[in-house]
Amino acid sequence: MIDKIKEHIAEIEKFTSDSKEAIENLRIKYLGKKGLLNDFFAEFKNVPNDQKKEFGQTINQLKTVATEKINALKEALDNKTVETGVYGDLTRPSEPVELGSRHPISIVKNQIIDIFSRIGFNVSEGPEIEDDWHNFTALNLPEYHPARDMQDTFFIQTNPDILLRTHTSSVQVRYMENNKPPIRTISPGRVYRNEAISARSHCFFHQVEGLYIDKNVSFADLKQTLQFFTTELFGKSEIRLRPSYFPFTEPSAEVDVYWGLETEADYRITKGTGWLEIMGCGMVDPNVLENCGIDSKEYSGFAFGMGIDRITMLLHQITDIRLLSENDVRFLEQFKSAL
């Protein structure tokens, strides 16, 4: 039996091949689960005691010779493959993986959420398909109210009580109905209005609206909150509030931030004034609080809302709002480095 094993050792030492298949067959023949090496190990128990030592040493020699021969042949084959360029240089790094990028709307939305989360605001969401109560009536806009004309609405034809929400204030109504003060929340989301599509307007866009309800909330609290927000997002701390009208807030105001007049672009976007309108705000009308089941004599609050698309265009110098919804890869790839 020992002589037979030595014959196999000699056979292995003489073996040579540049065929991957032949090398693998050699490995299976000797080192596989059903290979000859296992057969010889199984035969060990039948060997006379005086021959066990030599038999064991010969089997181990067979295993070592087979392993070294197979490894050497594989290494030679790999080197030959690299030299001949069949697969190219296997040590070269692979092609870089193309990384995706966040949409600019998502980038700015996340920045806004992060800023308000630092001062205690949570995030609330609601359905994009709404009913009349949550989108209009609860917000001090009863049926036939003239202010409804301010928002050209997409109604569901088969049910005039169902519509595509025109603002995320509907989310605030739902939140007030299901949560007791103190309330401090922002509601980002997509909204819809029946407007002509152009470089500056679209039939759908994105808003984020904020709401703070508690005891003794004042207009000064609103101004300080917006002051913090504009400083963090734009790096500009000077703001002004101009009287305005919104059905769901009283008093109401438009918020302008002083953008400056340092460049030609500054003159263009601020129309030569240096001031740029960024959002609307006001104290929540007591009727809205009562509609949502909150005692307006005990609680007060403020609300604000802004268009994420417009702020995105401003921060990234985008001149056409349609670029934000056309999914042009050439446009989106510019934001790969953005968070």
Where would I find the H helices in 118-263?
132-135, 169-178, 219-234
- Predicted confidence band of residue 88 (pLDDT cuts 50, 70, 90): low
pLDDT at 338 over 70: no
Question: Do 74 and 123 fall within a single domain?
Answer: no
Question: Do 65 and 134 fall within a single domain?
Answer: no
The mean per-residue pLDDT over the stretch 13-35 comes to: 81
pLDDT at 27 over 60: yes
Does some domain include residue 197? Answer: yes
Question: Do 131 and 200 fall within a single domain?
Answer: yes
Q: Which domain holds residue 152?
A: 104-335
pLDDT in tens, 219-234: 999 999 999 999 999 9
- Predicted confidence band of residue 217 (pLDDT cuts 50, 70, 90): very high
Does some domain include residue 297? Answer: yes
The DSSP H or E segment spanning 284 is strand 275-284
Does some domain include residue 99? Answer: no
- Predicted confidence band of residue 129 (pLDDT cuts 50, 70, 90): very high
CATH number at 194 reads 3.30.930.10
pLDDT in tens, 299-314: 999 999 999 998 998 8
Least confident of 36-50, 121-135, 234-248: 36-50
The mean per-residue pLDDT over the stretch 94-104 comes to: 79
Question: Do 71 and 187 fall within a single domain?
Answer: no
Where would I find the H helices in the chain?
2-14, 20-31, 36-43, 52-84, 104-117, 132-135, 169-178, 219-234, 264-269, 286-291, 308-315, 329-332
Does some domain include residue 7? Answer: yes
Give me the number of domains the chain comprises: 2
Question: Do 80 and 184 fall within a single domain?
Answer: no
Question: Do 53 and 165 fall within a single domain?
Answer: no
pLDDT at 46 over 80: no
Picking from 56, 84, 112, the residue at the C-terminal end of a domain is 84
pTM for the structure as a whole: 0.69
pLDDT at 150 over 90: no
Picking from 50, 84, 118, the residue at the C-terminal end of a domain is 84
Question: Do 207 and 316 fall within a single domain?
Answer: yes
Does some domain include residue 134? Answer: yes
Question: Do 135 and 272 fall within a single domain?
Answer: yes
Does some domain include residue 239? Answer: yes
Q: Is 250 annotated as a binding residue?
A: yes
Mean pLDDT (the chain, rounded): 86
Q: Kindly give, in sequence order, each residue whose CB lies less than 8 Å from that of residue 85, ignoring residues fewer than 6 positions away.
A: none
Does some domain include residue 96? Answer: no
Picking from 53, 84, 115, the residue at the C-terminal end of a domain is 84
Question: Do 11 and 58 fall within a single domain?
Answer: yes
pLDDT of residue 49: 77
Cα angle for residues 58, 64, 66 (degrees, 5° grid): 100
pLDDT at 295 over 70: yes
pLDDT of residue 339: 53
Q: Kindly give, in sequence order, each residue whose CB lies less than 8 Å from that of residue 140, ignoring residues fewer than 6 positions away.
A: 247, 248, 285, 287, 288, 291
Within 10 angstroms of residue 190's Cβ, the number of other Cβ atoms is: 15
Question: Do 17 and 112 fall within a single domain?
Answer: no
Least confident of 181-185, 190-194, 208-212, 331-335: 331-335
In 3-state terms, what secondary structure has residue 215? coil
Does some domain include residue 90? Answer: no
Question: Do 262 and 319 fall within a single domain?
Answer: yes
Phi (first) and psi of residue 281, to 5 degrees: -160, 180
Q: Kindly give, in sequence order, each residue whose CB lies less than 8 Å from that of residue 80, ignoring residues fewer than 6 positions away.
A: 18
Q: For residues 327 and 56, which has the higher predicted lDDT (pLDDT)?
A: 327
% the chain with pLDDT above 70: 95
Question: Do 321 and 205 fall within a single domain?
Answer: yes
Contact 296, 209 (CB under 8 A): no
pLDDT of residue 158: 79
